[in-house]
Amino acid sequence: MKILVTGGLGFIGSNFIIKILNEYPKYKITNIDGLLPGSNLDNLQEINKNKNYKFIKGNIQNQKLVDKLVSKNDIVINFAAESHVDRSITNPKPFIDSNIIGAYTILESVRKLKKKLIQISTDEVFGSLKKPFSANENYNLNPSSPYSSSKASAELLVNSYHITYDLHTTITRCTNNFGPRQFPEKLIPKVIMLAEKNQKIPVYGSGKNIRDWIYVDDHCDAILQVLHKGKPGESYNIAGSNEITNNSIIKNILKLMGKSSDLMKYVPDRLGHDFRYSLDSKKIVNKLKWKPAHNFEEGLENTIEWYLKNEKWWKKISRKSIGT
């Protein structure tokens, strides 16, 4: 199988590429990445010499380039996205460009060349949910930030191309990922790195906002199940079933690192900060026989260990994101 991965130098995309080349050594992967914020060439340094891996520097809004790459592959898996909510509030335009126009460009190539597409989306498209409700695949989209709105818009485009042009498209939505190679602006790596340097850790508002967390390798495994077994026109929610407050996440990390919770510093809440995201993933569990292989504690220990062992990696890029 020949797979075009977009945004493969990002956190989830890079973990997916490493996993698929390890588990399916006959598959060929082409990775197009624009080296925008969140991308890091070092993420895939270990496979640069793999004969089944090829990297192309390019923007997914370049129709001519995307057409050329799509024509040489069987399926596109679109990880490429601007994904940081804070930055989308400060400047929404890059999110519109990458997440909507970029998705449109890919869809046009897929349509013209009659290829397949998996669109990687997010639980944030459903907006904030009250306990104990979890959104299933049929729940109405209700995004509340420029980021989540751009991802919801991409979903609607993908669905419309499936209905109108009978394209083989699927959509996956996942809860908060964590694990190796995550950009330092995100909560868990940011806490690990600040705690290691005994610096204050900013906590938005009361710290009681709730997210469901999934170890990135489990998310990648779910995408593989969709790749091999997913049905066209369907969407699949992927959850880790680990709903935890930001306060608890930070305190767990500090405890595992032997640090004091005094490092926590509460700061004013961000604009439009959704209180809780939650996905019902019974469909992928029942239909595609997927389930997470890692519990939260195991995944968190693995993540902390990876960052402490790869201090050179995060020091190199943290200056670009959190100023450490």
Backbone angles phi, psi at 77, to 5 degrees: -115, 110
Active site residue 137: no
Cα distance between residue 196 and residue 177, in whole Å: 21
Q: Could you say which of 53, 147, 161, 277 is catalytic?
A: 147
Angle (CA) 71 218 21, round 5°: 40
Backbone angles phi, psi at 145, to 5 degrees: -120, 160
Cα distance between residue 319 and residue 324, in whole Å: 6
Q: Contact 80/34 with Cβ under 8 angstroms?
A: yes
Q: Could you say which of 33, 82, 123, 274 is catalytic?
A: 123
Q: How many CB atoms lie within 10 A of CB 308?
A: 13
Q: Could you say which of 33, 53, 82, 124 is catalytic?
A: 124
Alpha carbon 149 to its chain centroid, in Å, reads 15
Residue 191's nearest CA partner among 322, 36, 41 is: 322
Task: Read off the tokens for 221.
Answer: 């495994």
Active site residue 280: no
Residue 110's nearest CA partner among 59, 60, 75 is: 75
Cα distance between residue 13 and residue 220, in whole Å: 9
Cα distance between residue 145 and residue 253, in whole Å: 28
Task: Specify which residues 117 forms β-bridges with.
Answer: 76, 169
**DSSP code, position 58:** -
Q: What is the dihedral of CA 3, 218, 15, 148, to 10 degrees?
A: 80
Helices 146-165 and 102-113 cross at an angle (nearest 10°) of 10
Active site residue 124: yes
**DSSP code, position 112:** H
* Catalytic residue list: 123-124, 147
